[in-house]
Structure 1
Amino acid sequence: MKARTSSHRTSWFTRFAQRCAHWSGQPVTFVAAVGLLVVWGISGPIFGFSDTWQLIINTSTTIVTFLMVFLIQNTQNRDTEALQIKLDELIRATRAANNSMLDLEKLEEADLDRIRADYEQLAEKARSEITNRKSRRRKSD
Structure 2
Amino acid sequence: MATIGKFTRFANAASRFTGSPLSFMLAIAVVVAWVVSGPIFKFSNTWQLVINTGTTIITFLMVFLIQNSQNRDSKALQIKLDELIRATKGAHNELLDLEELEEGDLQAMKDRYEVLAQRARDCKHEDDAGTGSPDVAV
Q: CA deviation at 1:132?
A: 5.8
Distance (Å, rounded) in 1 between the aligned partners of 2:116 and 2:64: 39
Question: TM-score with structure 2 length normalisation?
Answer: 0.85
CA distance in 2, matches of 1:121, 1:35: 55
1:40, 1:131 → 2: CA distance?
65
Q: SS in structure 2 opposite 1:10?
A: coil
Gaps of 5+ in 2: 129-138
Aligned to 2:9: 15
Figure out how many residues of one structure are paired with residues of the other and give that number.
Answer: 128
**Distance in 2 of aligned mates of 1:45 and 1:131:** 72
Q: State the SS of the aligned residue for 1:47.
A: coil
- Match of 1:61, SS state, is helix
Residue identity matched to 1:25:
G
Quick check: which one's helix share is greater? 1
Root-mean-square deviation over aligned CA pairs: 1.5
The 2-side partners of 1:120 and 1:29 are apart by 45
Distance in 2 separating the partners of 1:34 and 1:41: 11
Alpha-carbon offset, residue 81 of structure 1: 0.9
* DSSP 3-state at the match of 2:112: helix
Structure 1 residue runs of 5 or longer lacking an equivalent are: 135-141
**1:53-92 correspondence runs (5 A):** 53-92=47-86
Residue 97 of structure 2 is aligned to residue 107 of structure 1: no
Distance 2:11 2:127 in 1: 53
Matched residue, 1:138: none
Q: Say which of 26, 32, 36 aligns to 1:38.
A: 32
TM-score normalised to structure 1 length: 0.83
Q: CA deviation at 1:124?
A: 2.1
Report which structure shows greater RCO (CA 8 Å, sep ≥6).
Answer: 1
Divergent runs of 4+, >3 A: 131-134
Secondary structure (helix, strand or coil) at the match of 1:78 reads: helix
Deviation of 1:131 after TM superposition, in Å, equals 4.1
Quick check: 51-60 or 117-126, which moved more?
Answer: 117-126
